[in-house]
């Protein structure tokens, strides 16, 4: 009986692996949708990515309004839509990412439930917010692929990130925020690097490149790091620094004593810092 009960309990458990695979598949579909737009527009230069034109083609009007508790909002009625961006968002890169994120919801048909042709469907969004739902992540994946298409941006990621310079070059060329550019960089680079987002003195999340295998625990930032200096003294310093691997990595990580380059920047208005970490070949 006990064995059967255990088996029944196991059967009732959500199929975690299958769900992860499903999410992976949906994110691949989001990327494919963005790349389809890229191909259709015949984009050969980042300046060709015209969000106003894409929105117009989707019958989507873009407005800027005061939004409470969200960065952006999309309202869809039938085949028409309105994209609203908060007037509190002032960074051009963040505005573009929010518009691209909402275009992702429209193109990937992220409707809430079943609606009739005249029902209004509304969604409040905070793009690149780590606590977002799976649908929000799919819209972020779409936005990153639309604004920084893999065929154009990959060659920009084939450099060692001793500093934020390669990330800032992407930000400048593609009209994206430094944070979104850093996340795209670590996604596509062959280098061992990571973006770590810290707030109120603690690691909130980390995104690692495929070749970066060390575990970055969610814990208080360690003395010696640029992030620590920001929370302790309110300043970071202009240049990158070299810190021991233990500053950021779990003590159980491989090559925990290897030096790591850290270059950090503050996120204005959020009391947060993100650090770009790079672990050179030994």
Nearer to Zn ion, 139 or 183 (CB): 139
Nearer to Zn ion, 123 or 208 (CB): 123
DSSP for 150-197, written as a single string: HHHHGGGGSS--SSSHHHHHHHHHHT--HHHHHHHHHHH-SS-EEEEE
**For residues 128 and 93, what is the distance between their CA atoms, to the nearest angstrom?**
12
Kindly tell me which residue out of 37, 125, 143, 178 binds Zn ion, with binding defined by CB under 5 A.
125
**Which residue lies nearest Zn ion, judged by its C-beta?**
125
Burial 118-152 (b: 16+ CB within 10 A, else e): eeebebebbbbeeebeebbbbbbbbbbbbbbbbeb
Q: Which stretch binds Zn ion (CB under 5 A): 8-16, 130-138, 199-207, 239-247?
A: 130-138
Q: Which stretch binds Zn ion (CB under 5 A): 117-125, 234-242, 253-261, 268-276?
A: 117-125
Q: Check: CB of residue 229 under 8 Å from CB of residue 251.
A: no
Check binding of 136 to Zn ion (CB under 5 A): yes
Q: Which stretch binds Zn ion (CB under 5 A): 42-50, 80-88, 138-146, 147-155?
A: 138-146
* Size of site (CB under 5 A) for Zn ion: 3
Nearer to Zn ion, 106 or 157 (CB): 106
Nearer to Zn ion, 81 or 226 (CB): 81
Give CA angle at 144 (143, 145), nearest 5°. Answer: 90
Nearer to Zn ion, 139 or 216 (CB): 139
Q: Are strands 241-244 and 259-267 parallel, antiparallel or unpaired?
A: antiparallel
Check binding of 128 to Zn ion (CB under 5 A): no
Nearer to Zn ion, 82 or 208 (CB): 82
Q: Check: CB of residue 177 under 8 Å from CB of residue 97.
A: yes
**For residues 209 and 147, what is the distance between their CA atoms, to the nearest angstrom?**
19
Kindly tell me which residue out of 139, 167, 194, 216 binds Zn ion, with binding defined by CB under 5 A.
139
Q: How far is the CB of 93 from Zn ion (least distance, A)?
A: 17
Q: Which stretch binds Zn ion (CB under 5 A): 78-86, 131-139, 158-166, 224-232?
A: 131-139
Check binding of 106 to Zn ion (CB under 5 A): no
Q: Which stretch binds Zn ion (CB under 5 A): 12-20, 24-32, 139-147, 264-272?
A: 139-147
Closest CA to 201 of 233, 225, 224, 227: 227
Q: Check: CB of residue 278 under 8 Å from CB of residue 261.
A: yes
Q: Which stretch binds Zn ion (CB under 5 A): 18-26, 52-60, 133-141, 237-245?
A: 133-141
Contacting positions for Zn ion (CB under 5 A): 125, 136, 139
């Amino acid at each position: 009986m006990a064995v059967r009960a255990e088996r029944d309990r196991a059967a009732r458990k959500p199929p975690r692996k299958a769900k992860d695979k499903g999410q992976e598949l949906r994110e691949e579909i989001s990327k494919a949708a963005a790349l389809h737009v890229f191909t259709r527009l015949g984009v050969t230069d980042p300046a060709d990515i015209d969000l106003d034109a894409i929105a117009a083609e989707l019958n989507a009007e873009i407005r800027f309004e005061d939004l409470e508790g969200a960065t952006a909002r999309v309202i869809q009625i039938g085949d028409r839509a309105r994209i609203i961006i908060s007037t509190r968002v002032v960074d051009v890169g963040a505005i573009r990412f929010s518009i691209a994120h909402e275009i992702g919801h429209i193109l990937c048909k992220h409707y809430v439930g079943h609606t009739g042709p005249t029902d209004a469907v509304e969604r409040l969004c905070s793009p690149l917010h780590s606590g977002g739902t799976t649908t929000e992540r799919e819209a972020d994946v779409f936005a990153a692929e639309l604004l920084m298409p893999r065929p154009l941006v990959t060659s920009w990621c084939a450099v060692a990130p001793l500093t934020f310079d390669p990330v800032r070059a992407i930000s400048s060329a593609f009209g994206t925020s430094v944070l979104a550019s850093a996340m795209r960089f670590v996604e596509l680079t062959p280098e061992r690097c990571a973006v770590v987002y810290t707030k109120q003195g603690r690691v909130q999340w980390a995104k690692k490149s495929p070749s970066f295998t060390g575990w970055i625990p969610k814990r208080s930032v360690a003395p010696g790091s640029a992030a620590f200096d920001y929370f302790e003294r309110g300043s970071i310093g202009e240049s990158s620094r070299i810190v021991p691997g233990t500053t950021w990595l779990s003590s159980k990580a491989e090559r925990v004593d290897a030096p790591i380059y850290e270059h950090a920047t503050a996120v204005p208005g959020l009391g947060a810092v993100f650090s770009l970490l790079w672990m050179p070949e030994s």
